[in-house]
Amino acid sequence: MTSLVETGGVGRVWLAGAGPGDPGLITLRAVEVLRQADLVLYDGLVNPLLLRLTSGRCERTSRIRRAGAAIVPQEEINRRLIEAARQGLRVVRLKGGDPCIFGRGGEEAEALRQAGIPFEIIPGITAATAAAEYSGISFTDRNASSAVAFVTAHEDPTRDGTRLCFRALAAFPGTLVFYMGLNRLSELCSRLQEQGLSGATACAVICRATLPTQQILTGTLATLPELAAGARLQPPSLVIVGDCVMQRSGLSWYEQLPLFGVSIGVPRAEDQSGVVLEQIIRGGGEPVPMPLLEILAVEGVAAEQVQEQLRGLSGIDWVIFTSANGVREFFSQLRAAGRDVRALGGVRIACVGSSTAASLAERGIVADVVPEQFRAESLVEALGSVVTGRTVLWVRGSRGRDVLPERLSAAGAVVRQLVVYRNEDAASLPEDLPARIREGRLDWICLSSPAMARRLAELLRESGLWPLPQTTRLASISGLTSGAAAEAGLQISAEAKESTWDGLLEAVRAAVGRSD
């Protein structure tokens, strides 16, 4: 993508709502501009998983106090937006919830207008509606309320007095929703009662809405402050006051999801983990990206050698794929060699694993042989004598077991190997992961290969996390991976029945007692 600064054009700013926390709640328009962005200035309530949607530079501009992060003054954020736009950059100001519902988006828009910077405001799902609906509450149920009022519990500290009239709020004929109300919960409940609202009025406090760490506490105006005092609730928060809160017991669907509240480490390469992260999110869990290995295409002389081999596939009887990575890079190099799928005309295909078979199917190829068990030994057994005297091309990565070529050779096959991608170890664990593990905030790590198991053990030792605390358990994709983990000193708590990521996540669900 060519940035506007490269063409001498004028920059532009999008003030975009990121939604309340669940990354699936961002709008299509916001995703579209993130993909165009040269620079993303995101606030402290934005889910970091959303940053995977952009290739632009990302800068955190927190307006809330968090451990290890300073508050950035609003004036500094305004200045940064204007400065970047004047440099000709496409800038996305990504804000939690909706930009203009207690998000100061109007102030930022005004600053841009005065500076003559073109801008667009992209609405987002605001925290209140999402918090209610992920908690089983409907603000305007016809039997409970015909109106809803959004109220901030934190006004401009530089203003003399308050614009809030608690007498009017207490008399409001509907649901009251206070943003940022956790630290003022006792005061809010007291003032509403002082102005005539019954202490028996139902109310709730919802924290970290739409995330696997969502916390909900219900009570009444009279009881909620005391209940909250010992509940260890964490902001961001909303306080809901009204009869609609009483609906919650039968409609709280989110907390019933099979992985709700479970944090799961995903050691896959960053550019290949998207589907798995989404599976965990849709199951109510918290995915924690932690790439232990990196998959890289072969380059330079190695790539030229691969392409030369692909120009001369005549004489090959079977091509064997043992991973989706191998499929992807094989066809990438085939294109680079000036050829396409027709080069495989007359060649039979075998593969290991349903994901590998699916990757082939996406390219219009149905594998001739896919063993029931997803391992090299099973593939050789499934092939039997059909490879005797035949030339077999094994498409592989730079690291792997030697079982397949050894057994194929023993079966009488002539084996050629084609390395189309490189496996590289991650230099270290992600920066925040050791603290997560020490503090008991990572429930599971899923291991999908022996190499991942071995690398995890090495990095845990290097990070001073050996032995792995019992608060973090390990799930394995196969007996082979479990064996490698045991050899490395790791204890496996769950093993997939089917050697796929679906099987891995099902093993975790079963282990936590929430299997489908």
Greatest alpha-carbon span in the chain:
91
The residues spanned by each domain of the chain are 9-125, 129-256, 263-292+428-511, 295-425
Q: What is the rounded distance in angstroms from the CA atom of residue 346 to the CA atom of residue 343?
A: 9
- Topology of the domain covering 263-292+428-511: Rossmann fold (3.40.50)
- CATH node for 129-256: 3.30.950.10
- Topology of the domain covering 9-125: Cobalt-precorrin-4 Transmethylase; domain 1 (3.40.1010)
88: nearest Cα among 205, 22, 2: 2
Q: What is the rounded distance in angstroms from the CA atom of residue 393 to the CA atom of residue 253?
A: 50
Mean pLDDT within 256-278 = 92
Q: What is the rounded distance in angstroms from the CA atom of residue 122 to the CA atom of residue 100?
A: 10
**Backbone Cα Rg of the chain:** 28
Specify the higher pLDDT residue, 375 or 139.
Answer: 139
User: What residues have CB less than 8 Å from 249, skipping those under 6 apart?
Assistant: 136
For 128-160, the pLDDT digits (tens) are 999 999 999 999 887 778 899 999 987 665 666
Q: Determine the pLDDT at residue 375.
A: 78
Q: Are 209 and 21 in contact (CB under 8 A)?
A: yes
Q: What is the rounded distance in angstroms from the CA atom of residue 504 to the CA atom of residue 508?
A: 7
Mean pLDDT within 248-277 = 90
Q: How far are the Cα atoms of 221, 225, 284 from residue 213, in angstroms, in the given order?
A: 24, 21, 10
Q: What proportions of the chain, in percent to the nearest 5, are helix, strand and coil?
A: 40, 20, 40
- Topology of the domain covering 295-425: Rossmann fold (3.40.50)
Q: Are 74 and 63 in contact (CB under 8 A)?
A: yes
Q: Determine the pLDDT at residue 79.
A: 96
Share the mean pLDDT of the chain.
91
Cβ atoms < 10 Å from Cβ of 62: 17
Q: Is 19 helix (H, G, I), strand (E, B) or coil?
A: strand
Q: What is the rounded distance in angstroms from the CA atom of residue 89 to the CA atom of residue 3?
A: 6
- Interhelix angle 324-336/300-310, rounded to 10 degrees, is 80
The DSSP bridge partners found for residue 507 are none
Mean pLDDT within 113-141 = 95
Strands 444-447 and 318-321, sheet pairing: unpaired
Read off the DSSP letter of residue 195.
Answer: T
CA atoms 348, 352, 353, 359: torsion sign: negative
Q: Determine the pLDDT at residue 146.
A: 87
For 246-258, the pLDDT digits (tens) are 888 778 899 999 9
Mean pLDDT within 330-338 = 96
CA 69 to chain centre: 21
Q: Which helix (H) or strand (E) holds 444?
A: strand 444-447
Q: Are 504 and 488 in contact (CB under 8 A)?
A: no
Q: Determine the pLDDT at residue 250.
A: 74
Same fold, 129-256 and 295-425: no
Q: Are 393 and 320 in contact (CB under 8 A)?
A: yes
**Dihedral angle, C-alpha 137, 142, 146, 147, nearest 10 °:** 10
CA 129 to chain centre: 22
Residue 222 tokens read as: 């009279």
User: What residues have CB less than 8 Å from 340, skipping those under 6 apart?
Assistant: 334
For 452-509, the pLDDT digits (tens) are 999 999 999 999 999 999 999 999 999 989 999 999 999 999 999 988 899 999 999 9
Residue 202 tokens read as: 């139902």
Write out the DSSP string of 242-294.
SGGGGGHHHH--GGGSTTTT-EEEE-S-GGG-HHHHHHHHHTT-EEEE---EE
| Residue 236: cis peptide before it, omega within 30 degrees of 0 | yes
Q: Determine the pLDDT at residue 500.
A: 87
Read off the pTM: 0.85
